[in-house]
């Protein structure tokens, strides 16, 4: 019950519920949901969709699937096209594409539209599990709505365009020209300190609004659309979702989907070709932060740091706003450069600026510190993260187990594994891989100990 005896309605509860789940506060979300039910506020399809998606995001996939199955059994409308889309996406992420396709069939039969978001997930899933043949089957299954044929047409016109690209023989390098040095990179990521937006923020903050329900939220709102030293807008929001415009438009959302497909396979040159065609055609939609983040992330993974900073530079030129993901990638890049200190300070600055640090940011820096051999500092950051109320997830634990195992700190690695299981987080396929490596680390330690004791033995005799 809120102050003043006003009872929150379903929409208020849904918003809170979704916020808690996105902030990975699963327990709080469950408590809130129970409160909502006990107060007699009706849960809507929206509420359940948030819950299912939240369970997936909070490493409780089985619970999510079970909830979906139970809701389908109930009389009345508890599931809709979005529910199906959420579950299909999760199945695709887990590589269960056949099962995903079964659900597509079911949703279509029930009259729910298989829309662009759903098809995007499916296409990425098909490519990931090397089941391109399923695209044909998808086309045959879907009768309701017309997005699938138009996606196929889109793909065909993209491939036709790629066969005769405007600039043949170019590789990725000239696409994002940047000849700067590391110093310029620091400039790209530094924030205004004393004057300008930050200063203005502080001044405004001094004149506090007594009636404001939350000074913290006010501060967030003020910095949300501020501009950093380079003139690049910084937003605490993620890139906005836009709807597809049809196959003729070569729209940025489909480009982003295919960039993701090409980049995940390491096909950088094809991805760049696609981007080049897109940029040359200059359709009504510009590249957005998803587009640039995809490239940066891929360049970082390949170790092409110069190109990474070049993309960052271009984002600035295009006044494309950087979001949380952009900063995670920057931190990742700095980690690769062995600049863990700078990476830490970027996080610190962001935290000072808005106080909003998301779990991925923490995970990325923990990874950067760990890979840089700073295992202690990684653990420290983990503790700091927990202390500030951010719940660690499977990624956090996988990372910590991995870096500790690699550093030969077997005990620590096991400590994190136990902690993860204690928190009720289910291990995933990455955990399996990481644990295999841990086994190897133990083997190595054993054989080292054996040779050492042999040495001692031989000394003694």
Residues 9-38 binding DNA (CB under 7 A) are 9-12, 14-15, 18, 22
Lay out the site mask for DNA across 168-207 (x = CB under 7 A, - = otherwise).
Answer: ----------------------------------------
- Span 253-272, contacts to DNA by CB under 7 A: 253-254, 256-257, 260, 264
- Which CB, 192 or 318, lies closer to DNA? 318
**Least distance from DNA to the Cβ atom of residue 211, Å:** 19
Closest CA to 325 of 404, 260, 417: 260
Spatial distance between the Cα atoms of 49 and 88, rounded to a whole number of angstroms: 13
- Which CB, 189 or 198, lies closer to DNA? 189
Cα atoms in the 13 Å half-sphere on the side-chain side of 380: 6
Instruction: DSSP for 423-459, please give it.
Output: TTPPP-HHHHHHHHHHHHHHHHHHHHHHHHHHHHHHH
Cβ neighbourhood burial of 142 (10 Å; 0-12, 13-18, 19+)? buried
- Span 141-160, contacts to DNA by CB under 7 A: none
**Least distance from DNA to the Cβ atom of residue 434, Å:** 7
- Which CB, 90 or 276, lies closer to DNA? 90
Q: Measuring CA to CA, how many Å separate 372 from each of 71, 111, 347, 455? A: 47, 52, 17, 32
Spatial distance between the Cα atoms of 218 and 213, rounded to a whole number of angstroms: 9
**Least distance from DNA to the Cβ atom of residue 302, Å:** 12
Give the interface segment with DNA, choosing from 76-84, 133-141, 179-187, 225-233 (CB under 7 A): 76-84
Closest CA to 59 of 285, 342, 398: 398
How many residues lie near DNA (CB under 7 A)?
Answer: 74
Q: Say if CB 400 and CB 366 are below 8 A apart.
A: yes
Give the interface segment with DNA, choosing from 29-37, 197-205, 232-240, 441-449 (CB under 7 A): 232-240
The yes or no reply on residue 124 touching DNA (CB under 7 A) is yes
Phi-psi region of 174 (alpha: psi -120 to 50; beta: other; left: phi over 0): alpha
Structure-token pair, residue 337: 């450069």
The yes or no reply on residue 363 touching DNA (CB under 7 A) is yes
Lay out the site mask for DNA across 82-121 (x = CB under 7 A, - = otherwise).
Answer: xx-xx--x---x---------------------xxxx-xx
- Which CB, 49 or 391, lies closer to DNA? 49
The yes or no reply on residue 252 touching DNA (CB under 7 A) is yes
- The C-alpha angle 160, 163, 166, rounded to 5 degrees, equals 100
The yes or no reply on residue 46 touching DNA (CB under 7 A) is yes
Spatial distance between the Cα atoms of 347 and 362, rounded to a whole number of angstroms: 8
**Least distance from DNA to the Cβ atom of residue 368, Å:** 8
The yes or no reply on residue 425 touching DNA (CB under 7 A) is no
Give the interface segment with DNA, choosing from 169-177, 211-219, 274-282, 359-367 (CB under 7 A): 359-367
Q: Say if CB 56 and CB 26 are below 8 A apart.
A: no
- Span 376-415, contacts to DNA by CB under 7 A: 394-395, 398-399, 402
The yes or no reply on residue 328 touching DNA (CB under 7 A) is yes
Report which DSSP code applies to 259: H
């Amino acid at each position: 019950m809120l102050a003043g005896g006003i009872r929150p309605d379903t929409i208020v509860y849904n918003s809170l519920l979704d916020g808690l789940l996105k902030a990975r506060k699963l327990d709080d979300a469950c408590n809130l949901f129970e409160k909502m039910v006990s107060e007699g506020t009706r849960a809507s399809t929206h509420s359940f969709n948030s819950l299912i998606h939240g369970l997936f995001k909070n490493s409780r996939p089985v619970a999510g699937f079970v909830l979906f199955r139970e809701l389908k059994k109930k009389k009345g409308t508890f599931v809709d096209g979005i529910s199906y889309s959420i579950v299909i996406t999760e199945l695709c992420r887990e590589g269960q594409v056949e099962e995903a396709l079964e659900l597509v069939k079911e949703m279509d039969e029930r009259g729910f539209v298989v829309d662009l978001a759903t098809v995007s997930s499916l296409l990425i899933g098909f490519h990931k599990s090397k089941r391109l043949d399923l695209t044909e089957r998808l086309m045959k299954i879907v009768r309701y709505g017309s997005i699938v044929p138009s996606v196929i047409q889109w793909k065909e016109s993209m491939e036709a365009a790629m066969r005769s690209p405007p600039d043949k023989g170019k590789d990725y390098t000239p696409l994002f020209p940047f000849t700067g040095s590391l110093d310029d990179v620091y400039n790209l990521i530094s924030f205004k300190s004393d004057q300008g937006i930050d200063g203005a923020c502080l001044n405004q903050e001094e004149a506090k609004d007594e009636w404001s329900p939350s000074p913290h939220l006010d501060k967030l709102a003020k910095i949300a659309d501020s501009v950093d030293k380079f003139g690049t807008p910084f937003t605490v929001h993620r890139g906005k979702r836009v709807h597809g415009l049809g196959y003729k438009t070569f729209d940025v959302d489909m480009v982003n989907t295919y960039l993701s497909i090409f980049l995940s396979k390491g096909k950088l040159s094809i991805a760049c070709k696609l981007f080049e065609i897109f940029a040359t055609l200059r359709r009504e939609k510009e590249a957005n932060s998803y587009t640039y983040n995809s490239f940066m992330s891929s360049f970082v993974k390949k170790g092409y740091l110069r190109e990474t900073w070049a993309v960052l530079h271009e984002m600035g030129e295009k006044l494309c706003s950087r979001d949380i993901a952009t900063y995670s990638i920057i931190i990742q890049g700095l980690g690769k450069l062995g600049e863990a200190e700078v990476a830490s300070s970027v996080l610190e600055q962001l935290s000072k600026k808005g106080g909003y640090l998301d779990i991925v940011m923490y995970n990325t820096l923990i990874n950067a510190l760990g890979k840089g051999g700073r295992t202690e500092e990684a653990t420290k950051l983990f503790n700091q993260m927990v202390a500030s109320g951010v719940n660690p997830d499977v990624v956090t634990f996988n990372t910590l187990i991995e870096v500790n195992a690699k550093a030969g700190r077997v005990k620590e690695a096991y400590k994190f594994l136990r902690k993860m299981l204690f928190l009720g987080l289910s291990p995933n396929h990455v955990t399996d891989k990481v644990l295999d490596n841990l086994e190897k680390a133990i083997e190595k330690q054993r054989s080292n100990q054996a040779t050492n004791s042999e040495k001692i033995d031989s000394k003694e005799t």
